[in-house]
Amino acid sequence: MRCEPYQLLPLVQPPGSVALAEDQAGVLVGQAGSDFQMQTINGMQYANLPMMIMKKGDRVRWYLVTIGFGFNFHTPHWHGNVILNDGKRTDVVALSPAQMVTTDMVPDDPGIWLFHCHVSDHMDGGMIARYQVLK
């Protein structure tokens, strides 16, 4: 089964076509009073990051880091599989601004799964990717 990437939302426009300005918190927002914010994973939005592919039973190491402006707390979350983080088996971790987390996964559930930030505004802003576990 193959899943197509999410459709780009109308808010997403070619780079350079959106006028940006800093709000009071120093966050870059679209002008014209919108709450436009670009939230990315490795610079890509809305599941357009190239598919991250692994095999069932692989030892996968995830390097997570936050870089950016303003409110930069994130909660990366994996659908379908769990990670081992600080001795805890979980499917979500918390990242503070400029923090790095290294965590390990041995995927046991094949398929195409979402990997996204669980902060609602960040999901809305495009902080969504996919990964694939092959049998």
Catalog residues that contact Cu ion under the rule CB under 5 A.
74, 117, 119, 122
Give the nearer residue to Cu ion in terms of CB position, either 122 or 130. Answer: 122
Taking residue 32's Cβ as centre, other Cβ atoms within 10 Å add up to: 9
Determine the number of helices (DSSP H) and then strands (DSSP E) in the chain: 1, 10
Taking CA atoms, 81 is separated from 8, 31, 89, 102, in Å, by 26, 39, 10, 16
3-state helix, strand, coil in the chain (%, to 5): 5, 35, 60
Give the nearer residue to Cu ion in terms of CB position, either 75 or 132. Answer: 75
Least Å from the CB of residue 53 to Cu ion: 23
User: Which DSSP state fits 99?
Assistant: -
Give the nearer residue to Cu ion in terms of CB position, either 106 or 119. Answer: 119
Give the nearer residue to Cu ion in terms of CB position, either 107 or 122. Answer: 122
Amino acid found at 76: P
Least Å from the CB of residue 109 to Cu ion: 24
Least Å from the CB of residue 56 to Cu ion: 28
Least Å from the CB of residue 58 to Cu ion: 26
